[in-house]
Amino acid sequence: MNAFVAIVRRDLLLAARRKSEVLTALFFFMIVVSLFPLGIGPETAMLRRIAPGVLWVAALLAAMLSLNRLFATDHQDGTLEQMALSPTPLAVLVSGKVLAHWLTSGLPLVLLAPVLGLQFDLSARALGVLMISLLLGTPILSLIGAIGAALTLGVRGGGVLLSLLVLPLYIPALIFGAGAVEADVAGLGAGGHLSLLGALLALGVFFAPWAATAALRIALD
Amino acid sequence: MINWFKFASPASFYPLAGKLWPWFAALATAFCAAGLWISFFVAPTDFQQGEGYRIIFIHVPASWMSMFIYCVMAFWAAIGITFNTRLSGMMSAALAPTGALFAFLSLWTGALWGKPMWGAWWVWDARLTSELILFFLYLGYIALTSAIDDPRRADKAGAIVALVGVVNVPIIYFSVKWWNTLHQGASVSLTKAPSMATTMLWGMLLMALAFWMYSIAMSLYRVRAIILEREHHAGWVAELPEMQR
């Protein structure tokens, strides 16, 4: 547990020292979301309808941006090998890295989403549901993304490959995340979608670090 | 009792695959000829869909095989990870292109069928969407394994992708299905007329068998090529009669 906390603190500290990387992903999220009204037109009725999907797709893409660095820098300077050799199970350390990744790339999106949602004329209630769905969903993106990042570690053209591998696996999170907001707007209640999102998160927390660890061991062979 | 582990070695599997694949290819040809004959000349014209329905004789077996081959790939991946056998990874790699081909064929024929029947090349139906995602999963597997130079590492990384994918396939399928019902999509259904004529069913089963045999023949043929490529430095490869020429 100490090692877990230490890894989270270390990664957060590293992120704080290299603020630009975190901020780039955030600005990317904001720009992508702002492009849609420009491309589609400013009718508020239309914007309200597409808002959950647009915000969620932008969140998927922004999460992809920062995934490359999840293990790459540690792999380059040899830290990752020391982690694999340490007495603490690698899966624990990987979980710590994933949590730190979510805190630096997922959580800011959750906090920023209501502001962007306002541009799309979402009601306060819908904004709340959107935040909850992102809060439950973005950790899934970090968890599944960790598997892809571990698999493409040190592979030629890793970045593009990572998106090809990971984006199809993000589809359930996208469907339930954006669906929660839509269901709430339609008056159906978002409970079912949020529960399913929570179930995905529980599955991911349990299995993804394990799969990512197996992938890392292959990459370190 | 056959010692299965004997054939886990590429050196002993190579000649076995060489003996087997022509038989499966011959079976595939025979089943395909019978299936096509039934589907074009014996099966009656559907009174609702006319002659256009005959595309399901290709479409349905192709969809079945695309899903089945993914499961077989994941099976070999699991075997490869558990027993650390080299051949399992080669089998997965040999199956992937055939599976991707069938997924593509299923989407393509589905579009051709959809245009006259539904008036649209594509609808966001749950099955179509999940077949498309399955196609993407195949592409991801192929892209990852071909991007890694070391074949052993490629096999292992591919095995993890296949296993993660096979866990996700049902989740993706149900999420797409519920998404589709929530959206009340285009009110078309893929469910066929409840009573399918027996001859139609026979045609479809024969075509499914043909595709199955074709997949086995092709993957055995392809695994032979992969074995030769990876083991070209080995002594037994140099002694093969086809290498003497």
pLDDT tens-digit readout, A4-14? 899 899 999 98
pLDDT of residue B186: 44
Give A173 or B199, the one with higher predicted confidence: A173
pLDDT of residue A159: 79
Closest approach of chain A CAs to the CA of B78, in angstroms? Answer: 13
For chain A, say whether B163 makes contact (Cβ under 8 Å). yes
Q: B4 lies in a domain? A: no
Q: How far is CA B213 from the centre of its chain?
A: 11
Number of domains in chain B: 1
Chain A residues closer than 8 Å to B182 by CB: 179, 182-183, 188
pLDDT of residue A145: 93
Count chain A–chain B contacts defined by CB atoms under 8 A: 75
Q: B66 lies in a domain? A: yes
Residue B189 token pair: 């259904």
Q: B20 lies in a domain? A: no
Indicate the residue of A157, A167, A175 with minimum beta-carbon distance to B179.
Answer: A175
Q: Report, as an integer, the average pLDDT of B188-194.
A: 48
* Terminal Cα-to-Cα distance of chain A (whole angstroms): 26
Closest approach of chain A CAs to the CA of B82, in angstroms? Answer: 12
Closest approach of chain B CAs to the CA of A137, in angstroms? Answer: 14
Q: Report, as an integer, the average pLDDT of B49-62.
A: 82
Interchain proximity A172–B157, CB inside 8 Å: no
pLDDT of residue B194: 46
pLDDT of residue B245: 66
Residue-number span of the structural domain to which A37 is assigned: 2-220
Indicate the residue of B160, B163, B172 with minimum beta-carbon distance to A171.
Answer: B172
* Nearest partner of B145 among B47, B57, B76, B66, judged by Cα: B76
Asked if the model's pLDDT at residue B214 lies above 90, the reply is yes
Residues in A whose CB is inside 8 Å of some CB of B read 147, 151-152, 155-158, 161, 164-165, 167-169, 171-172, 175-176, 179, 182-183, 188, 196, 200, 207, 211, 214-215, 218-219, 221
- Judge residue A87's burial from the number of C-beta atoms within 10 Å of its C-beta, 0-12 exposed, 13-18 middle, 19 or more buried: exposed
Interchain proximity B163–A155, CB inside 8 Å: no
Asked if the model's pLDDT at residue B101 lies above 60, the reply is yes
pLDDT of residue B185: 46
pLDDT of residue A55: 92
pLDDT of residue B173: 80
* Nearest partner of A219 among B116, B245, B141, B144, judged by Cα: B144
Closest approach of chain A CAs to the CA of B204, in angstroms? Answer: 30
Contacts of A34 (CB under 8 A, 6+ apart): A116, A119
pLDDT of residue B189: 47
For chain A, say whether B1 makes contact (Cβ under 8 Å). no
Asked if the model's pLDDT at residue B1 lies above 60, the reply is no
A16-63 tens-digit pLDDT: 888 888 888 899 999 999 999 899 888 888 888 888 999 999 999 998
Asked if the model's pLDDT at residue B180 lies above 80, the reply is no
Distance (Å, whole) CA B241 – CA B245: 7
Asked if the model's pLDDT at residue B147 lies above 80, the reply is yes
pLDDT band at B71 (very low <50, low <70, confident <90, very high): very high
Longest dimension (CA), chain A: 58
pLDDT of residue B29: 92
Rounded alpha-carbon distances, angstroms, from residue B40 to A80, A211, B188: 61, 48, 26
Contacts of B181 (CB under 8 A, 6+ apart): B126
* Nearest partner of B56 among B180, B190, B170, judged by Cα: B190
pLDDT band at B123 (very low <50, low <70, confident <90, very high): confident
Contacts of A197 (CB under 8 A, 6+ apart): A133, A136, A137, A140, A173, A176, A177, A180
Sign of CA dihedral A115, A121, A123, A126: negative
Asked if the model's pLDDT at residue B184 lies above 70, the reply is no
Distance (Å, whole) CA B169 – CA A169: 9
Phi, psi of B46 (to 5 degrees): -75, 135
Residue-number span of the structural domain to which B219 is assigned: 56-186+205-235
pLDDT of residue A65: 85
Asked if the model's pLDDT at residue B45 lies above 90, the reply is no
Q: Report, as an integer, the average pLDDT of B197-211.
A: 85
Number of domains in chain A: 1
Q: Report, as an integer, the average pLDDT of B104-124.
A: 84
Q: B182 lies in a domain? A: yes
A84-140 tens-digit pLDDT: 888 888 999 999 999 999 999 899 999 999 999 888 888 888 899 999 999 999 999
pLDDT band at B196 (very low <50, low <70, confident <90, very high): low
Interchain proximity B153–A219, CB inside 8 Å: yes
Asked if the model's pLDDT at residue A210 lies above 50, the reply is yes
* Nearest partner of A12 among A149, A106, A95, A104, judged by Cα: A104
Residues paired with B46 in a beta bridge: B50
Closest approach of chain A CAs to the CA of B245, in angstroms? Answer: 37
Q: Report, as an integer, the average pLDDT of B121-133.
A: 82
- Averaged confidence pLDDT in chain A: 89
